[in-house]
Amino acid sequence: MAEFAHIDTNRIIEMAWEDRTSFDSIKEQFGLTEKEVITLMRREMKPSSFRMWRKRVQGRSTKHTKLRGFVAGRHKCALQRTITNNKISKR
């Protein structure tokens, strides 16, 4: 497995934690297979955090492009505009 800069390693970990980011996206961007991502996560995280992540990711269809039930695209929250302006309007 290739060595990555600290910022790239952090980005890979962040992408691995995100529900909607598939392992295929990580492979496309950084060239790491799912197995290599798991190895990196095991190496970089505390054992309890790694176990929590594995439990969360195992069997999750959104982490595998072929198992997704939705078309690849960007999800946008209805509150996105108000959140991006760093304030949530009162209703």
Encode pLDDT of 32-82 as tens digits. Answer: 999 999 999 999 999 999 999 998 888 776 666 665 555 555 555 555 555
pLDDT surpassing 90 at residue 83? no
The full set of domain ranges for the chain reads: 6-84
pLDDT of residue 18: 86
The pTM for the full model equals 0.65
d(CA 7, CA 13): 10
pLDDT of residue 3: 77
Q: Give the SS3 label for residue 4.
A: coil
Residues with Cβ within 8 Å of residue 39, at least 6 apart in sequence: 1
Here the tokens at position 56 are 């969360």
pLDDT of residue 22: 85
Residues with Cβ within 8 Å of residue 55, at least 6 apart in sequence: none
d(CA 37, CA 52): 15
Among 6-10, 24-28, 51-55, 64-68, the range scoring the smallest mean pLDDT is 64-68
pLDDT of residue 91: 47
